[in-house]
Amino acid sequence: MIHALYYLMKHLLTRIALMLVMLLTSTTLFADDFTLKGKVVDNEENALELVTVSCLKQGKVTMSNLKGEFEITLQSADSVEVRFTMVGYASRKRVFRNPKGKMTIQIVMQPMEALQEVTITERRRQTTGTEQLDIEDAKLGPSTTGNAVEELIQQQAGVSTHNEMSSQYNVRGGSFDENSVYINNVEIYRPLLISSGQQEGLSIINADMVDKIGFSSGGFEAKYGDKMSSALDITYRRPKKFEATTTASFLGASGFIGIGNKKFSMSHGLRYKTNRYLLGSLETTGEYRPSFLDYQTYISYTPNKRWELDFIGNISENHYNFKPKDRETSFGTMEDVKSFKVYFDGQEKDVFRTLFGTASITRNFGDSTKIKFLTSAFHTKEKETYDIQGQYWLDDTQSSENLGVGTYMEHARNYLTADMISFKLIGSHKTRKHDIEAGLTYKTEYIKEQSREYEMRDSSGYSVPHTADRLDLIYTLTAKNDVKSHRIEAYIQDAYRFSKGENYYTLNYGVRLANWSFNKETIVSPRASIALVPAFNHNYTFRFATGLYYQAPFYKEMRDTITQSGITTALLNDKIKSQRSLQFIAAMDYRFKMLDRPFRFTAEAYFKALSNLIPYNVQNVKVTYYGENKASGYTAGIDLKLFGEFVPGTDSWLTFSLMKAQMKMDGVSFPQPNDQRYAINLHFTDYFPGTDRWKMTLRLAFADGLPFGAPHRGIEHQNFRAPAYKRADIGMSWLAVKKEKGIKRLWVGLDCLNLFGISNVNSYYWVTDVTNRQWAVPNYLTGRQINGKITVEL
C-alpha cells in the first residue's frame, strides 16, 4: 500500500511540474480584422456590467461597461467563437461565419436559478477584501477533523495551522480568537474552555448545508465585526427539491436531507465524530473515548416576494474521556538521543454542550431595497475535569545514565456557563452604481466561571520550585467570576462602482462603531478599499485596502491574574481596552487561460501596525492572555496564490507566504507567538489516466515552526523555535455509481493521513534533571493512518 502511494505521489508531482512548465512557456497570438460591439442584458432587458466577453482561440478578452456595452476587435476567420460569461448567469456562446467590418449584437443572459443544469465557466472577480471559495473543493479530500470548511480555510494564503486535530487557524500572525465567523449574517461563538485539539469536536459549520463561502484575510468590510485578523462569511443554501447525502468513515458519520419548492425549504443535518482511531497513533497510549454529536436545521419560508422568514437551530454535545496508560518519547540529535518514559494514573472527563438558534424576517421593498430583523441566542455549558499523575524517567540512551526521575500531578475542575443574546437590524438599498448597507446590533452577554487548576512537580525527591520554608506548586490558578454586560454595534457601508473610459473601479467604504458596557469603551473603525480593472488589460485587477481594526475584548482577554503566597487568582480587568490594528493591503489578481483552462494568480502585500496588544501564551490550542494592554508590535508579509485547473475539470492551488510578526513589551522586542516566517501549501486534484471516475486529492503543508520557551516564564522568554510543520495527506475516491437506481452519486474513498509518517511537534513538556537543567520533551502529533469512507448522494 505504501509503495503504491509513493508511486502515486511521484505521478502527481510530475503532473504538477508539467503544468507549471506549460504555464511559464505558453504564448498567445494577437491579431485583429473585424470589430464586434453590442450590449449584454438579462431576461428583463436590464443592462449587465462586468460581463466577460472573450475569444479563447485568439486570446482576446474585454468586459461590458456599466451600461452593458462592449467592443472587441478580433481576427476574421471561417468561424469565430465568442463567449459571454458572468457569475450568477449561464454562459452564452455566439459563432460568427466569416465576419467582416463592424458588427453589432445584443446578448441576453439567463440567471442560473432559471435553469436546471448550468456549467460555471468563470469565477467571481474579487473587487473587495473577501474571496469567494468553493466547498466542493474540500468535500472529497482527506480530512482529520471532519470540518471541511475550516480545513479549506487552513489551506489559503496567509492562513496557518500546526495541529491537524484542530479546526482552528491563525491568519497573518493573529491568534485563534482574532477570526470572526458568520452564518447567514449572525456572528458565531465557540466554546471557551477547549485547551487541546483532542477535545475539539465538530465545528458549528455543517459543510453539507453550505451554499457560499466568503473569506477575507484582511481589509474586510465594515459589516464584519470587531476582529483584527479575518472574517469568514457562510451562507446556508435553500434546497429547491429533495436531496440527501450520507457519509461514513472510520472517523465518524454524517447525514443530510433537504426538501424545498418555490416558497418553502427545510434541511436537516446530523453529524457524529469520534477521533479515537486517530488518537491511537499518539505516543501516549491509553483509553481514548471521544464522542462528538451535532444536529442542525435550516427552515425558510417565502410566502411572496415581499416577505422571507428563516430559522437556524443547532444542538452540539461533545464528550472527551481519556485514561492515559504510558508514554515513551525519544528526542534529541543523532549523536545525543534522550529517552523520556512516563507511567500514568488517573483520567480526564470533559463535556462541552452548546445550543444555538437564530430567526430572521425580511421585508423586500421591490428588487433593490430590503430590511431584515434577526435575533439569535447562544448557550454553552462546559466542564473540564482531570486528575492525572505521571511518574517519569529521563535517560541518556547512549550511556544509559539516568538524568532525571520524578512525579507530576495535574488537577483541574473548570466549569463555565455562558449565554449570549443578540438583536440585529439590517437595511440595504441597491442602485446601478451603489450597494448601500447599514446595521444596528444589541447584544447581551452573561458568563459565569468557576475554575481551579494546579500542577505539582517532584523532581528527584524535591518539589519544584523548591523553597526551604514552604511547599509551593509549580502552577496554580483559581477563578470565580460572574459578569453581565451588553454591547451596541452599528455600521454603514457602500460599494460604489464607476468607470472612466475602459477603467472600471469598485470603491467600498464604511465605518463601524461599538460600545461595551463592561469597560465603557467606544471604538470607531473606518475602513475602505478600492479595486481597479485597468483599460490596458481587463485580466488584471488591482486592489488596495486600509482601515483601523479593533479586537474587542471578550472573556478570555479580560482575565487578569495576581499571585500572592504562591496562589494565582484570575480576576476580571474592567480597565481592559480593545487591541488596535492599522492595516494597509495592496493586491493584484491576474486571470489567464492556458490550454483553454482558467487560472488566476494573486499577490497580496500587507502591513499591520499593532497597539494596545494583550500578550498571550499558546499551549496546544489553549490561549492564555495577560489580561492587560501592555504591548505593541507590527506584522508584515506577502502572500502568493496560483489557482486554476491544472487538470481539466478540477481545482488546484499553490500558496506561498512570507511574514514577520514582532511584539514589543517593556522595551524588549521579540517574535509574536504566531510568528510563522514562511509557509507553503498545495491542494492538487487529478484523475486517473483514461477515466473520470477515479479522483485523487493531495494536500501538502510545509510551515515554519513557532516560538516557544519554558512554561510560566512569560512570552518575552520564548527564545526557542519549534521544528517546521510538514505534512502530506492524500485521498483517492472512486465514483462507483452515477445516476443509477435513484442514486445521484456513490463515492468510495481511501485516505492516507500523514503519508510520510512525519512526527510533527505540537507542544513541549519540560523536565528538570538532577543538575536543575531543564529539558524540552516534544509532544508529537498523530502518525500515519489509513481512513476509509463512503458517500452516497440522492
Q: What is the 3-state secondary structure (H, E, C) of 682-748?
A: EEEEEECCCCCCEEEEEEEEEECCCEECCCCCCHHHCCEECCCEEEEEEEEEEEEEEEECCEEEEEE
Cα–Cα distance, 74 to 97 (Å, whole number): 13
Given this model, what pLDDT does residue 718 score? 80
Given this model, what pLDDT does residue 359 score? 96
Q: Parallel, antiparallel, or unpaired: how do β-strands 616-619 and 567-572 relate? A: unpaired
Q: Cell match 470565580: residue?
A: 480
Residues in the chain: 794
Asked if 573 contacts 627 with a C-beta cutoff of 8 angstroms, the reply is yes
Asked if 510 contacts 493 with a C-beta cutoff of 8 angstroms, the reply is yes
Listed residue (568, 622, 624, 619) closest to 765, CA to CA: 619
| Angstrom distances, CA of residue 449 to CA of 384, 479, 654 | 12, 7, 44
Can you read off the three cell numbers belonging to residue 504? Answer: 472600471
Given this model, what pLDDT does residue 609 score? 96
Task: Sort 47 into a burial class: Cβ within 10 Å, 0-12 / 13-18 / 19+.
Answer: middle
Task: Sort 262 into a burial class: Cβ within 10 Å, 0-12 / 13-18 / 19+.
Answer: exposed
Rg over CA atoms, the chain: 28
Can you read off the three cell numbers belonging to residue 758? Answer: 512525519
Count of C-beta atoms within a 10 Å radius of residue 646:
25
Given this model, what pLDDT does residue 32 score? 57
Count of C-beta atoms within a 10 Å radius of residue 260:
17
Q: What is the pTM of this model?
A: 0.82
Given this model, what pLDDT does residue 12 score? 52
Q: Which parts of the chain register pLDDT below 50? A: 1-2, 5-6, 21-31, 114-122
Given this model, what pLDDT does residue 15 score? 55
* Cα-Cα-Cα-Cα dihedral sign, residues 660, 665, 669, 674: negative
Asked if 236 contacts 186 with a C-beta cutoff of 8 angstroms, the reply is no
Cα–Cα distance, 479 to 457 (Å, whole number): 22
Given this model, what pLDDT does residue 637 score? 95
Can you read off the three cell numbers belonging to residue 749? Answer: 474513498
